[in-house]
Homo-oligomer: A and B are copies of this chain.
């Protein structure tokens, strides 16, 4: 049976609210995901929250009922609460009706099975949680093996990033690594590193891409460091006809990724 918590001062409420802070997430190994859609995607991918908060004032959606049953069967903690508490936990004025607390999963490169896919996306110093989410969704759409976050990227377990992934966090593999660790891992087996850069002269539709392909995109404002561009097997540019310098990083990643899979599906 769900237990009822409606006090801001409740220690569990305080603890979960603390998970909006990165340090706290690291310390506890937990993160928050909101919304019935994302939690259902998670469940279908085999991830159940260890704690679930739901709004008791609303008639329970059938998917919420399924979720509650499965969490209870797994000895999880199901908590009935109200919109105020949910808003406090999510930091949103209009919180969803449900928030789940999940155990963070490990993000080492060693978890990636390189044989599982022909295409991988590598993002370097990506700072925007919305871009991270969008790129992860793109990775899902193009059948990428996963997203590798190199150097100082936004935390994929932040509330904003999880929200932006729309559930792809649970269906796509994510790894994090500094460049010094990523590069030897990459070179330990076959695969071409394809950098997208404003400095490149090669049009992105010119090369014939080979499998496996690792698409590398740089920071939103700076692009890739020159030294990293130097390590790429190929440096390509997406043509831009406009006055502004650059496509959004997530858009550039998607345009590049679709070119690669379009070549392969011909």
Q: Give Cα distance in the complex from A44 to B245, angstroms.
A: 14
Nearest CB of B to A97, in Å:
16
Judged by a CB distance under 8 angstroms, whether A258 is at the interface is: yes
Within 8 A of B (CB), among A165-184: 166-168, 171-172
Q: Which residue of B lies closest to A203 (CB)?
A: B265
Within 8 A of B (CB), among A228-265: 238-244, 246-248, 250-251, 254-255, 258, 261-262, 265
Establish whether residues A262 and B134, one from each chain, have CB atoms under 8 Å apart when the complex forms: no
Chain B residues lying within 8 Å of A254, measured Cβ to Cβ, are: 247, 251, 254-255
Nearest CB of B to A205, in Å:
6
- Residue of B141, B240, B255 near A240 (CB, 8 A) is B141
Q: Give Cα distance in the complex from A140 to B242, angstroms.
A: 5
* Interface bracket on A: 35 or more
Nearest CB of B to A161, in Å:
14
Chain B residues lying within 8 Å of A262, measured Cβ to Cβ, are: 205
Q: Looking at A139, A143, A241, A261, which has the most chain B CB atoms within 10 Å of its CB?
A: A241
Judged by a CB distance under 8 angstroms, whether A112 is at the interface is: no
Within 8 A of B (CB), among A135-175: 137-143, 166-168, 171-172
Establish whether residues B141 and A247, one from each chain, have CB atoms under 8 Å apart when the complex forms: yes
Establish whether residues A243 and B134, one from each chain, have CB atoms under 8 Å apart when the complex forms: no
- Residue of B171, B240, B244, B251 near A251 (CB, 8 A) is B251
- Residue of B41, B137, B243, B244 near A247 (CB, 8 A) is B137
Task: Enumerate chain A interface residues (CB-CB to B < 8 A).
Answer: 41, 44-45, 130, 133-134, 137-143, 166-168, 171-172, 205, 238-244, 246-248, 250-251, 254-255, 258, 261-262, 265
